[in-house]
Amino acid sequence: MEEAKTTLGRFVLPGGYVDEQNNVYDVAYLKEMTGNDEDILSARNMSVSCKLKMVLANCIVRLERSDTTDSPLIEREAIEKALDGMTSMDKLVLLVGLRMVTLGRMYDMRVKCPQCENEHQVTVDLSAFEVLPMPDKRKRTYEVMLPSGKKAEMRVFLGGDEEKMEKIRNAGRDVPSYAILVRLNKLDGQTPTLEAVKNLGTRDRLKLRAEYSKVEGGMNTEVEVTCPSCGNKSVGDLDVAQTGFFFPSEV
């Protein structure tokens, strides 16, 4: 029997949007996608980050605060502004939520075995992925003392940074260093440069990654899989960029 699909879903975000009054809008209500959204995702003349923002803005019915249901954000302009102020992990939760609302919570994911390199299919329950909230949703800047003794002034990676990182990923160079650089306000009191980030020791870089992963929260999208061909056990990771995530061959 085909799984029943819902047309509206409520999702609590890892961080959410913090407005000028320090209110946190971290509850999103999503409606299912339409043909208009499918056309946007299929467009070839827009960046992926731009397409996803447009679709999410179309499908978010309202944004609320978890501490009150008063004064929700329902206007398109307010929702677009909120999306720019959300973390990349918020966007991930929203995209997974949008897929569940539109097509149901069960998803057939393609996984390549790292041992025999055969590709196989595994069915996962998207609602089972754990959402990891930010320790402090209002805290968007913070300091990190590095093993080398240097001090880093960091900021949370927000929606406005995504298009920049997309261009860097497409260029295929220095991606790990840029992922650190876009989160750095200051490094030992100086304006950070790519060269300075690349010259950091491995321990310093690992410390920075560990801190921003913890501060920004997220969603645990790892899936334990057993290869049916060779029996090897491994861990796969949900990829919302896979073609079949929003466009399965059969619905």
Q: What rounded mean pLDDT belongs to the chain? A: 89
Confidence of residue 157 (pLDDT cuts 50, 70, 90): very high
Distance of CA 41 to the CA centre of its chain: 17
By CB neighbour count within 10 A (0-12 exposed, 13-18 middle, 19+ buried), where does 78 fall?
middle
C-alpha count within 13 angstroms, C-beta hemisphere, residue 136: 7
Tokens of residue 212, six digits: 């921003």
Confidence of residue 243 (pLDDT cuts 50, 70, 90): low
Distance of CA 23 to the CA centre of its chain: 21
Q: Does the pLDDT value for residue 18 go beyond 90? A: yes
Percentage of residues of the chain with pLDDT beyond 90 = 64
Confidence of residue 1 (pLDDT cuts 50, 70, 90): very low
- pLDDT value for 222: 87
- pLDDT value for 165: 82
User: For residues 15 and 26, is the Cβ–Cβ distance under 8 A?
Assistant: yes
Between 152 and 45, the more confident residue is 152
Q: What is the mean pLDDT of residues 174-197?
A: 94
Confidence of residue 110 (pLDDT cuts 50, 70, 90): confident
Distance of CA 60 to the CA centre of its chain: 16
User: For residues 127 and 105, is the Cβ–Cβ distance under 8 A?
Assistant: yes
Confidence of residue 3 (pLDDT cuts 50, 70, 90): very low
**Distance (Å, rounded) from C-alpha 229 to C-alpha 119?**
9
Q: What is the mean pLDDT of residues 144-168?
A: 90
Q: Does the pLDDT value for residue 133 go beyond 70? A: yes
Q: What is the mean pLDDT of residues 146-151?
A: 97
pTM of the model: 0.87
Distances (CA, A) of 122 to 66, 100, 107, 125: 34, 17, 8, 10
